[in-house]
A = this chain, B = another copy of it.
Amino acid sequence: MVNIRRYENNPVVTTADVPPSREDFEVVCAFNAGVTSFGDETLMLIRTAERPAQEDGWVVFPVFNAETGETEVHRLRLDNPDLDVSDPRVIHHGLLRYLTSISHLRLARSKDGLNFTVDAEPAIEPASEYEEFGTEDSRITCIDGVYYIDYVGVSHLGVTTCLAKTTDFVTYERVGMVFCPDNRDVVLFPEKIGGKYAAYHRPAPRAIGTLSMWLAYSPDLIHWGGHRHVIEPRADMWDNCRVGAGAPPIKTDRGWLSIYHGATFDDWYCLGTLLTDLDEPHKVIARSTQPLLKPEADYEMKGFYGHVVFTCGTTLDGDRLRIYYGAADTVMAVAETSLSGLLDDLR
């Protein structure tokens, strides 16, 4: 059994630590942060979900308008018979879908990786028609000194993955859309494999197919192909409904180690480990049968969307692996384990 220890002062970031981006919005979730070591600091790009004040008898929700460049406030009457707001995350209005909140990415810095200071302004926020419902879960991968940030862009056209890059975490250059709908949980490998960039991704097929992890290659980080299936959900296990990459893969002597997430049909999200071939990372060497981390703590069980632990990034210091994770879709937490221990467990 792997020894994993939650930080005693979890959560490390809550909504109270994140000032809203405008006065009429409240921050409802600060979670699923991309994470990287940068100089002597640990940086997080926190998915910060905001919404306008609610009004009696209405659901009030934000939508970014790419033509005006403004985030607008929309309202629908709760007694509308075509309306379903039973999912706290999604508004079903007939065939239309909206999100109850809009997310941007907010930078937070820490010297010790445990105590974070959150910027006052967004780092990456909705800027195109493909981001009208928000810019969500990011992953950060440093390749040859450049920090690539992939993030989810959501609109009524679908759930896409877009790419930005930075060298200083002050200015960010948008590269564009890299995976078309539906695709999220994209993690870039930190180096080329066989002469090409590589990524795990998680398409969400509609008619036939499972919510599986796939591998793709790219000559330039923009254009992706050569898709290979990696892992799919396992019947009767903690990852029986969906799986997706979590943190960017870590290179080890024995293969690429990934912390991934799996969920059940009733949306319990756990973390697990996956070891894949160094040269052909669609080939699985080992996969944890038990969850590495499952929702147990109060801040993991209760929140905007309960019983969820979900990682988008880790930091490695010698053998000490810190796993940063969103808990209950509401806050950021951290757990610590040893890389060698994870690898031993996968023997």
Contact = CB atoms under 8 A, between A and B. Distances in A.
Interface string A117-161: 000000000000110010000000000000000000011111110
A203 interface: yes
Nearest to A204: B206
A260 interface: no
Contacts of A155: 208-209
A154 B205 CA distance: 11
A175 to B, nearest CB: 9
A157 B232 contact: yes
Contacts of A159: 205, 207-209
Given A157-B232, A219-B219, A206 B225 contact: no
A219 B220 contact: yes
A97 B207 contact: yes
A53 to B, nearest CB: 25
A168 B178 CA distance: 34
B97 A180 contact: no
Nearest to A99: B208
Contacts of A156: 208-210
Given A181-B209, A205-B182, A208-B158, A223 B217 contact: yes
A201 interface: yes
A216 B227 CA distance: 16
Contact of A216 (B180, B207, B212): B180
Contacts of A160: 227
Contact of A177 (B178, B227, B232): B227
A224 interface: yes
A225 B154 contact: no
Contacts of A269: none
Contacts of A223: 217-220, 223-226
A222 interface: yes
A176 interface: yes
A229 to B, nearest CB: 5
Closest 8 CB pairs of A and B: A158-B209, A223-B223, A181-B205, A223-B225, A158-B205, A204-B206, A182-B205, A180-B227
7 contacts: A97-B207, A157-B229, A176-B226, A177-B225, A182-B206, A182-B207, A219-B219
